[in-house]
Structure 1
Amino acid sequence: MPSIKDRVKPQTGLHVSILGMALRKLLKKLYVPEKSAIPVCILLVASYGQMTDFSISTSRAVIMMILLLAADLFERTYDGKNALALAAVIILLQKPFALFSCSFLLSFGAMAGIYLVLPVLEQVWFGDPWAKRRKRRRLHHLDRELLANKRTGRFRIFCRQQGQKIGQMLLVSSSVQLTTLPVVLYFFFEIPLYGIVINLFVIPLSSLLVVFSFVGGVIGCICLPAAKFILSNAFWLLKLYEQICLIFQKLPGHMQIFGRPVWWQLLLYYLMLILVLFCLMYLLYKIDEAEYQRLPLQPEKNRKKLKYIGKVLPVLCIIFIVHIPSGTFEMTMLDVGQGDGIYLHTPAHQDILIDGGSTSEKQVGKYRILPFLKSKGIRQIDYLIATHADEDHINGLEELLKLSGDGYKIRQLLLPDVADKKQSGYVLLRKAAKQKHIPVRYLSTGSYFRSGGVSFFCLNPSAGSSFDSANAESITLSMQYQDFSCLFTGDLEGAGEEALQRIVSSSPLRQSYHIPEHYTVLKVAHHGSKNSTGEELLDILKPEYALISCGRKNRYGHPHRELLDRLADTGAEIQRTDEKGALSVILRNGKPCVTGYLDNQDNQISKNK
């Protein structure tokens, strides 16, 4: 996921505008006629777009800039809204699916906020054009009085002017945030809390950054040492940006996780935003009309309504896009490639992660597991369980532990209670947990915990036991919720599988550990290895569904044909992450519904057709 440095709200296409207008001013100062200067500017802007391969945001800015320059060239009025609409049409004619891309929605959403929302907010805060003129005249007389005081007059005028600029920038940033907030949450699942404030430092310096970069690039074609000196200024500006972001990143709550809103929340959000804007415009009209008729009380009442709506608007926005957690049991076997990662959500709104690692995907915790958790709006993992110390089960968990506290936290780390606790994998997990002050607990046969009606019994390993292989010591959890049951086996095989078979074959032990007559879901051990999940064990477990986590075309050949045949003989429905992506199990009216991510995508494509 992008960090806070990547998530500062961009003024999309700002660099194109800076380049175009800067060149136009330069040519004007050189006394180049406008009839010649404007075509040169258009050529430069188009060339810049070609150089950047006409990305969506750059294409939008280039088209609008060319329309602005062409309007001046032909002495026509430029309308930003029409130019924005024309740019959208041109881009979508070339790339129809750009409508669903993050860059298109953010770029055009930001400009829509500036053209549609900003004028309304400006009238709310600064009044109509007539009120602005009266205020400017009043401030002009005040400035003359302040200038009479030579000690503090100029300083007070400077402070007031800077305050006005900051207020205007805050309004611009707020307008952009209002129109793009749902898009940001849909694609990134979180928002930087201090993004608007960071823009106050970033945007004023962006003009210098663009100028230094452009001039340095041009001079570099002539004199490389001079270009290095100029570009060094751009480098230090970028370092300043980075340091500013790092400072804000250390502040509490700098990143707020909301999860991915569903389609009806997006629709409701924009409908409410439009309704509020119309209400504000209507109240502003009433205030203007009352002031024109010189009614003293009515404008004051309407101004109070404006302030009330302004306070309620942010709350309404959050309500309509916040993720609504499910009130039932959910389970997802994540597609982590060649590895394991299982997420559980209980009716008590507790979240559990069993394993999280991969040998085929790099930084699987940061780029696969954590984005999934954020998309669900999860800010806390109640139990982080590592079944054993193999890399394909824990390297992502180590990343999650190190990232804990960055918008979300982990309450407990659960490890197997085996004799050899000094294995490198366990040492790394405990070290990461200690740095984040996360308590570590150990599970062994008979360990038990409960969450929102969901019970978990540990069936393996025995306390202080020692095995020939790490796979055999895998934590094995028997889960029960109402009539739904699931057995999580990690990479269980060999002596560990034999110990599990002895437990599930014993009637007293089955009763003691609340083992059901048959399991609804079996998490197949060791990614479908032929040496695990034997026929005798399957005859006892009798699973309805068998879920296999493995990487596509992995070098181990998982799942093996022998195991698939054994599962088919038991009548279990086999679901695999290498074929269907992430596997989701949701209880509907007490019955499990197992679907793959690719199944959902195929359904959406067929519906669109």
Structure 2
Amino acid sequence: AVAGAGALLCACALLAALTARPLAPPPGAWWLVAIDVGQGDALAIAGRDGWWLVDAGPRTPRWDAGEGAVLPFLRWAGARDLRALVVTHDDGDHAGGAPAVRRGARVHATFASAPRPGVEGPSRRFGARTLGRGDTLLVAPGARVLWPPRPGEPGEALARRGDNAASLVLEVGEGRSRALLMADADSLVEAAVVVERGAAVLKAGHHGSGSSSGAAFVSRALPARVLVSAGRRNAYGHPHPLALERLGSHGAVVDRTDRSGTRWDVLDERGARLLDWRGGLGPGGGLRFRLGVPPGPRP
């Protein structure tokens, strides 16, 4: 099945190269791609209506993940148009690459969480529309905002503790194809978020830190697969061994960008499974394809 998925991806890449159209998932499915941006988050999502992006990785004096990882991936996939860019919060390892993405791709809409008082968040810097609990995103089927609450709603004080606590928590997909995208939410936010049991994929909060992916939350979400986006040999020790133990305690398969590079999941009514993409994008430089037949050059 894995080899077949790899052949499908190569065939899709060849077809897209010939037609100059973006890669697209088969009917009834959607893709969740955790791009390897080092110590940060960048999730590319493709559905029946096109591609969109949740976070854009870090920017440091030496490297911009937007330029060095996110845009190369999007160009290879033919995704010159993004239905939306969602900036979950203003931490540099999530929002740092956003300016480069906004310069290098046609972004139709930008969304962010509401700024905290006295803080110039992405909603102000990028002119983004703010999102809060209960909002839906029309860019993908079943895309909903689970956190943070709107001003005056229960939980507002918790969300005001800092950028991580105000992170946008999203649920994408429906039924057995649901994914929970936890941004940098910690265990206190996890306890306040209402989730449906049996997620196909959980993007672990805060890069698998010890303060996230609490046992009670993992038991409620009960994911089949887990994505951890972290940098190789990062200074924070992410993912934390105890967090990994909790994430895998119910038999979930845990995938890590720090070990395996970019992770590409296909989600449909059967759940989630890994596409045979074993490539990496990161500070080490460039696209690294390890498929049986490397994709042809993109137009």
Shorter-chain-normalised TM-score: which range?
0.7 to 0.9
* CA-CA distance at 1:591 after TM superposition: 4.2
> Which structure would you say has the larger Rg?
1
Aligned match for 2:216, one of 520, 536, 557: 536
Give the distance between the partners of 1:357 and 1:557, measured in 2 at CA.
Answer: 18
**Who is 1:332 aligned against?**
33
Give the distance between the partners of 2:19 and 2:257, measured in 1 at CA.
Answer: 30
Give the distance between the partners of 1:531 and 1:419, measured in 2 at CA.
Answer: 22
RCO (CA 8 Å, sep 6+): is it higher in 1 or 2? Answer: 2
**Who is 1:430 aligned against?**
124
Identify if the C-alpha distance between structure 1 residues 391 and 425 changes in structure 2 by more than 3 Å, giving closer, same or farther.
Answer: farther
Aligned match for 1:597, one of 259, 275, 278: 278
TM-score, normalising length: structure 2: 0.80
* CA-CA distance at 1:325 after TM superposition: 3.1
1:202-601 paired onto structure 2 within 5 Å = 320-323=18-21, 325-326=23-24, 327=26, 328-347=29-48, 349-358=49-58, 362-401=63-102, 403-404=103-104, 408-420=105-117, 422-426=118-122, 430-431=124-125, 433-434=126-127, 440-451=128-139, 454-464=141-151, 465=156, 466-500=159-193, 503-504=194-195, 516-587=196-267, 590-595=270-275, 596-598=277-279
Give the distance between the partners of 1:414 and 1:324, measured in 2 at CA.
Answer: 23
1:145-160 paired onto structure 2 within 5 Å = none
Identify if the C-alpha distance between structure 1 residues 531 and 359 changes in structure 2 by more than 3 Å, giving closer, same or farther.
Answer: farther
Cα RMSD over matched residues? 2.8
Residues 187 and 214 in structure 2, CA contact (< 8 A), matched pair in contact too: no
Identify if the C-alpha distance between structure 1 residues 409 and 598 changes in structure 2 by more than 3 Å, giving closer, same or farther.
Answer: closer
AA aligned to 1:322 is A
Identity %: 27
- TM superposition outliers: structure 1 runs of 4+ over 4 Å: 261-266, 598-603
Identify if the C-alpha distance between structure 1 residues 588 and 468 changes in structure 2 by more than 3 Å, giving closer, same or farther.
Answer: closer
Give the distance between the partners of 2:53 and 2:10, measured in 1 at CA.
Answer: 23
AA aligned to 2:111 is L
Identify if the C-alpha distance between structure 1 residues 329 and 494 changes in structure 2 by more than 3 Å, giving closer, same or farther.
Answer: closer
* CA-CA distance at 1:482 after TM superposition: 4.7
Give the distance between the partners of 1:386 and 1:265, measured in 2 at CA.
Answer: 28
AA aligned to 1:413 is T
Residues 354 and 385 in structure 1, CA contact (< 8 A), matched pair in contact too: yes
Identify if the C-alpha distance between structure 1 residues 430 and 546 changes in structure 2 by more than 3 Å, giving closer, same or farther.
Answer: same
* CA-CA distance at 1:358 after TM superposition: 2.0
* CA-CA distance at 1:323 after TM superposition: 3.5
Residues 389 and 423 in structure 1, CA contact (< 8 A), matched pair in contact too: no
Aligned residue for 2:223, secondary structure, equals: coil
AA aligned to 2:65 is V
Larger helix share, 1 or 2: 1
Give the distance between the partners of 1:525 and 1:448, measured in 2 at CA.
Answer: 21
Residues 88 and 112 in structure 2, CA contact (< 8 A), matched pair in contact too: yes
Aligned residue for 1:370, secondary structure, equals: helix
AA aligned to 1:354 is V
Residues 45 and 52 in structure 2, CA contact (< 8 A), matched pair in contact too: yes
Identify if the C-alpha distance between structure 1 residues 333 and 265 changes in structure 2 by more than 3 Å, giving closer, same or farther.
Answer: closer
* CA-CA distance at 1:479 after TM superposition: 1.6
Residues 278 and 291 in structure 2, CA contact (< 8 A), matched pair in contact too: no
Give the distance between the partners of 1:553 and 1:265, measured in 2 at CA.
Answer: 32
Give the distance between the partners of 1:381 and 1:603, measured in 2 at CA.
Answer: 26
Larger strand share, 1 or 2: 2
Unmatched segments (≥5 aa) in structure 2: 1-8, 281-287, 294-299
